[in-house]
């Protein structure tokens, strides 16, 4: 009888482990990164031809957070290499998410809980990532590097302007290649030490958002409790980022943080993913004053594809937000920031970006404007921003 009970317990534990480590991670992602039916425009042959000639760049995706191969076409999520190639993406910026609060919301979150620890364990990530936010980011850098090494040259990690130039030149020759660049979603992964910024740069990170869904030791978040500005450490971080050639990203930052960054910036600043309050009145979206401030730095605003960014999942809503930025400050300061695989629901995935091109055509954008919006502006800012200051 005891043996039967013991064997029963063993079976229960094994089944539980299979569920926790084998099934749960995929189930969680499938429930969070959805593509829903949306009002997609009819794509014309002329738009298809235009889209095929674009150099498309997207400033934000959270794909590295999830346990699946970047190289294989997946039945879940919104990004993988086959879909990026099908969507004609030249450069995809991959962000490192290291901590998110339980009960995450856009209004107010503390920093005393963390969903990512359980995800890291369930996905069988290295134990060093279970208790260290810095190590989680370094692991994400390793994942991207390994994917590139196994991609037969189809995925390249971008560290320098020369890397970017080679990528674009090879694409112009017809090669099916995609660049991947690393960013950070919230510098809580510095763990309070500015020296860790250099470690991130050495690992390949060339952009960083100052805050994510809670206030941290660097800056206040739009979704934090206090929503303050830059801390003394945060001011040091901005200066060090500019010196290293790491682009400062104010997405998710509090209004106070955004104002301080724009006042002190000596290099272009970006808002990697989000929307604008003029077309979608959500607290995390940018005010007109903030849009003007980013444009004054020579930076670029990435427009997202999910409901809280543009108040819809239709490509036409993305085009509306882009048009507002164009009309306010000029077409040179707006681009794409999907937030694909960032626990958002979208109306299309990365293989369907021609739908955005068509929405811009339908909105009356010229071909030259579309080239800038779909990638030219982002590529310009990235190329200039990842150069270290002498």
| Residues paired with residue 94 on neighbouring β-strands, in sequence order | 61, 182
∠ CA 29-30-31, rounded to 5°: 90
User: CA–CA separation, 253 vs 267, rounded Å?
Assistant: 18
User: CA–CA separation, 261 vs 241, rounded Å?
Assistant: 12
What integer pLDDT is reported at residue 5 of this predicted model?
Answer: 53
Burial label, 235 (beta-carbon count in 10 A; 0-12, 13-18, 19+): middle
pLDDT above 50: residue 15: no
Whole-model pTM over 0.85: yes
Question: What are the pLDDT digits (tens) for 21-49?
Answer: 555 555 566 677 899 988 899 999 999 99
User: CA–CA separation, 224 vs 221, rounded Å?
Assistant: 5
- CA distances to 32, 182, 224, 232, 333 from 265, in Å: 35, 21, 23, 15, 16
DSSP for residue 36: -
Determine how β-strand 300-303 pairs with β-strand 334-336.
parallel
pLDDT above 70: residue 327: yes
Length reported for the chain: 390
What integer pLDDT is reported at residue 32 of this predicted model?
Answer: 79
pLDDT above 70: residue 6: no
Mean pLDDT, rounded, of the chain: 93
**Got the DSSP string for 51-80?**
HHT--EEEEEE-GGGSSS-SSS--SSSS--
pLDDT-based confidence at residue 10 (cuts at 50, 70, 90): very low
Q: Is the dihedral of CA 221, 226, 231, 233 positive or negative?
A: negative
Burial label, 122 (beta-carbon count in 10 A; 0-12, 13-18, 19+): middle
Best CA proximity match to 211, nearest among 229, 195, 197:
229
| Residues paired with residue 300 on neighbouring β-strands, in sequence order | 270
Give me the percent of the chain exceeding a pLDDT of 70. 92
Best CA proximity match to 272, nearest among 32, 55, 58:
58
* Cβ neighbours, 10 Å, residue 131: 10
Average pLDDT over every residue of 232-244: 98
Q: Kindly provide the residue ranges of all beta strands, DSSP E only, lying in the chain, ordered along the sequence.
A: 34-35, 56-61, 89-96, 155-157, 178-185, 205-209, 247-249, 269-274, 300-303, 334-336, 345-346
User: CA–CA separation, 172 vs 175, rounded Å?
Assistant: 7
User: CA–CA separation, 204 vs 160, rounded Å?
Assistant: 10
φ/ψ (deg, to 5) at 96: -100, 110
Question: What are the pLDDT digits (tens) for 84-113?
Answer: 999 999 999 999 999 999 999 999 999 999
What integer pLDDT is reported at residue 25 of this predicted model?
Answer: 59
Q: Which of 12-16, 168-172, 251-255 has the lowest mean pLDDT?
A: 12-16
């Amino acid at each position: 009888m005891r043996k039967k009970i013991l064997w029963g317990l063993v079976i229960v534990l094994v089944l539980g482990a299979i569920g926790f480590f084998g099934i749960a991670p995929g189930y969680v992602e499938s429930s969070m990164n959805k593509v829903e039916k949306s009002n997609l425009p009819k794509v014309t042959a002329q738009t298809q031809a235009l889209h095929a000639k674009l150099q498309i760049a997207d400033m934000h995706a959270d794909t590295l957070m999830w346990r699946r191969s970047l190289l294989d076409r997946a039945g879940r999520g919104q990004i993988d290499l086959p879909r990026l190639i099908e969507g004609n993406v030249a450069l995809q910026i991959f962000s490192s998410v290291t901590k998110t609060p339980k009960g995450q919301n856009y209004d107010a979150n503390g920093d005393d809980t963390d969903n990512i620890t359980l995800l890291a364990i369930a996905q069988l990530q290295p134990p060093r990532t279970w208790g260290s936010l810095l190590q989680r980011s370094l692991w994400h850098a390793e994942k991207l590097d390994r994917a590139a090494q196994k991609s037969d040259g189809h995925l390249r990690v971008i560290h320098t302007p020369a890397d970017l130039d080679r990528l674009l030149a090879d694409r112009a020759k017809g090669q099916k290649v995609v660049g991947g660049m690393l960013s950070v979603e919230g510098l809580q992964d510095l763990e309070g030490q500015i020296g860790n910024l250099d470690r991130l740069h050495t690992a390949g990170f060339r952009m960083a958002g100052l805050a994510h869904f809670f206030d941290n030791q660097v800056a206040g978040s739009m979704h934090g409790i206090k929503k303050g500005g830059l801390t003394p450490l945060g001011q040091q971080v901005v200066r060090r980022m500019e010196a290293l050639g790491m682009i400062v990203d104010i997405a998710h930052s509090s209004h106070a943080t955004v104002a301080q960054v724009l006042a002190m910036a000596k290099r272009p600043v970006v808002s990697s993913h989000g929307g604008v309050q003029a077309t979608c009145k959500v607290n995390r979206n940018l005010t007109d004053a903030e849009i003007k401030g980013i444009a004054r730095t020579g930076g670029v605003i990435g427009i997202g594809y999910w409901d809280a960014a543009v108040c819809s999942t239709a490509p036409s809503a993305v085009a509306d937000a882009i048009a507002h930025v164009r009309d306010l400050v000029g077409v040179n300061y707006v681009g794409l920031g999907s937030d694909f695989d960032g626990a958002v629901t979208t109306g299309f995935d990365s293989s369907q970006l021609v739908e955005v091109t068509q929405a811009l055509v339908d909105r009356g954008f010229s071909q030259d404007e579309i080239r800038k919006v779909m990638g030219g502006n982002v590529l310009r800012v990235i190329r200039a921003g990842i150069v270290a200051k002498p």
